[in-house]
Amino acid sequence: MSIKTNLSEIQSQLPSHVSLVAVSKTKPVEDLMEAYESGQRIFGENKIQEMADKHQQMPKDIQWHMIGNVQRNKVKYMAEFVDLIHGVDSEKLLNEINKQAEKHQRTINCLLQLKIAQEDTKFGMTAEAAHTLLESDHFKSLKNIAIVGVMGMASFTENSAQIKEEFTTLKSTFESLKKISPELEIISMGMSGDYPLAIDCGSTMVRVGSRIFGARNYAI
């Protein structure tokens, strides 16, 4: 199966309100270019340095999404070009993104990462913490960031009833946060193994890697 075929199969399953982030972490630029040449323009990476390297080598109409956990001291390496940061889970991180965005006179779009999985290995804020943040005067004073939605990762399990419950929780948290911040519009949930279910539960953005590019080999 080629990258091009995989992409067009997935695209054919997506409703028009759902966008596809091609998760290209660990994959070589040639693979990303194959996706680019098939029309893909949104790429997701989970390491800032790797994303910055690929950004430099690739066409400039690509939208780069940071989907991994962000170390505050590395925000400066992506502040100039990143299109959306999915994994914002603290006010400290938001402060740093705001500071670096200001240096480049731009506004950086961010998603609040919410903890929906039962496992405690997953990052993310509670719904309460997200409410408190969006209602705070401090948050309102940050002029160079925009919170445009939420992101979540379901538990790593075969139990689709559990995954469905977690996605549904994210959707309802989104609805309640949207009452405070009407500009919220993105629900980033769903990966290779569960994106059809995520879409049924209200996802507007799926992050798909191995289903497009094949299995990742971390030994390389």
Ligand X SMILES: *Cc1c(COP(=O)(O)O)cnc(C)c1O
- Can you give the binding site for ligand X, defined by CB under 6 A? 23, 25, 46, 67-68, 153, 191-193, 207-211
Instruction: Determine the distance from the C-alpha atom of residue 106 to the mean position of all C-alpha atoms in its chain, rounded to a whole number.
Output: 19
Shortest Å distance, C-beta 179 to ligand X = 27
Q: At closest approach, how far in Å is the CB of 141 from ligand X?
A: 29
Helix H or strand E encompassing 110 = strand 108-114
Give 84's strand partners.
65, 109
Of 50 and 102, nearer to ligand X (C-beta) is: 50
Q: Which is nearer to ligand X, 9 or 135 (CB)?
A: 9
Residue nearest to ligand X (CB): 209
Query: Considering the complex, what minimum distance in angstroms separates the CB of residue 197 from ligand X?
Result: 13
Nearer to ligand X, 69 or 144 (CB): 69
Q: Do 163 and 181 meet the contact criterion of CB atoms below 8 Å apart? A: no
Which DSSP helix (H) or strand (E) runs through 54? helix 48-57
Nearer to ligand X, 202 or 214 (CB): 214
Can you give the length of the chain in residues?
220
Based on its alpha-carbon atoms, the radius of gyration of the chain, rounded to whole angstroms, reads 17
Helix (H, G, I), strand (E, B) or coil at 16: coil
Closest distance between ligand X and the C-beta of residue 138, in Å?
A: 27
